[in-house]
Amino acid sequence: MQTSEIAGGALEGLRVLDLTRLLPGGFCTQMLADLGAGVTKIEDTGAGDYMRWAPPSYEGADASARSAPFLWLNRGKRSIRLNLKDPRGREVLLRLVREADVLIESFRPGVMDGLGVGYARLAEENPRLVYCAISGYGQETPYRARSGHDLNYLGLAGLVAMTGAADGPPMAPAGQVSDIGVALLAAFATLAALRERDRSGRGQLVDVSLLDASAIWLGLVAARHLCDGEVPRRGRTEQAVCYRPYACKDGWVTLAALEPKFWTAFCKGVGRDDLAARQFDAPGSETHAALEAIFATRSRAEWKAFADEHDCCLEPVLELDEALASPLFEARGLVSTLAQPGIGQTIRHLGTPLKLSRTPPAPYAPAPGLGEHTRETLAGLGYAHEEIEALLQSGAAAGPAGTVQGEFLA
């Protein structure tokens, strides 16, 4: 099986089959690809990964590879198209599995088994395979076949109920908390299973769910509740004047002076030593009113200068465009450029957060067109030219020519 490993990457030589769609599995395999793993996306013979069609899009010749979200999420991967409802398509998958280290899928539990290519069957072909199944509610739960998206999982885990003002409605978070969380869990658990395989020589099934990934963000809150029985409510982050956003002259700032030394530094800096004992006064108190008046006297830039001098956990609230253009993002390499064939320009996108001193991520490779590597991969698996043409003609596999809206598996 041909791959696109980054020479010298930490995961160089690792062969990953990615049967996922959209964000969770895509971000998991993006991190693996950034570190040098050879990731092959296995897409259906219809429209492929739904993310390919997510707006906005760049102008370009290949409509399947110009969606801005898709190009970021799938950099450095390869793409082939298989019809897993066709036994000939499944046979191609089995050949791929024989040479793979990892397979990651995100169908509802039972879909892969129904196709005859679930974990038990694939483990017969390759006992060393680490099979990671990402699902909404887990492989064996009452909700195993239930549909859902990020907000549903967060709601069931208790996070939405606690998000928002105390006197307001529950609120959805700005980011995809469970989607990114499950991607991190999947990558971590997969690498742990690979480490164990080094000792035992055997792969295993990794079962991660978006519900689990939602619950982990509330570990500290749950620990308190399970100890004292108190039920946390919305507005819990607004319970102290030392930890909240404040309006200033030209926007907002965040104060997070939880430790007494930071609160004391703030009070001294603004000339209000008398507030040093009022750190945990509640919103609506006289202390809160005094702080609102204090913050309104300076701009964000002035408060940044104040924080530079007094070190009190005080920072401006940046809009997304400001954050992306900030020196801090630049210093961390969080915005990168990538040459993407087919759209005639260099695109900008979020860079990897992974920093390794000896085997850092290599420059990013472009995202693949739909089915761009089908023929090449089939040839690498030992299929003769005539066999490849027969697979393409039968619809068991598909190359990059044309995109037909087809039936999806999930």
Whether residues 193 and 249 share a domain: the answer is: no
**Do the domain assignments include residue 235?**
no
The domain in which residue 87 lies consists of 15-216+333-398
Whether residues 182 and 317 share a domain: the answer is: no
Whether residues 339 and 288 share a domain: the answer is: no
Burial (Cβ within 10 Å: 0-12, 13-18, ≥19) of residue 77: buried
CATH number of the structural domain spanning residue 279: 3.30.1540.10
Token pair belonging to 103: 């397979």
Q: How many domains does the chain contain in total? A: 2
Beta-carbon contacts of 192 under 8 Å, excluding residues fewer than 6 positions away, are none
Consecutive 10-residue averages of pLDDT for the chain (410 residues)? 58 97 97 96 95 92 90 96 97 98 97 97 98 96 91 93 88 92 98 98 98 94 91 81 96 96 97 96 94 97 97 96 95 91 87 92 89 96 96 95 42
Distance CA(75)–CA(77), nearest Å, equals 6
pLDDT at 363: 78
What residue type is assigned to position 194 of the chain? L
Query: Is 194 in contact with 37 (CB distance < 8 Å)?
Result: no
pLDDT at 401: 62
**Do the domain assignments include residue 410?**
no
pLDDT digits (tens, 9 = 90+) for 347-363: 999 999 999 999 998 77
Indicate the residue among 258, 287, 321 that finishes a domain: 321
Distance CA(378)–CA(69), nearest Å, equals 28
Whether residues 315 and 347 share a domain: the answer is: no
Active site positions, annotated: 179
| Interior angle at CA 262, CA 163 and CA 249, nearest 5 | 65
**Do the domain assignments include residue 406?**
no
Q: Which of 130, 118, 129 is nearest to 186 (CA)?
A: 130
**Do the domain assignments include residue 233?**
no
Whether residues 27 and 78 share a domain: the answer is: yes
Q: Facing residues of 39 across strands? A: 16
CATH number of the structural domain spanning residue 26: 3.40.50.10540
pLDDT at 235: 77
Whether residues 304 and 190 share a domain: the answer is: no
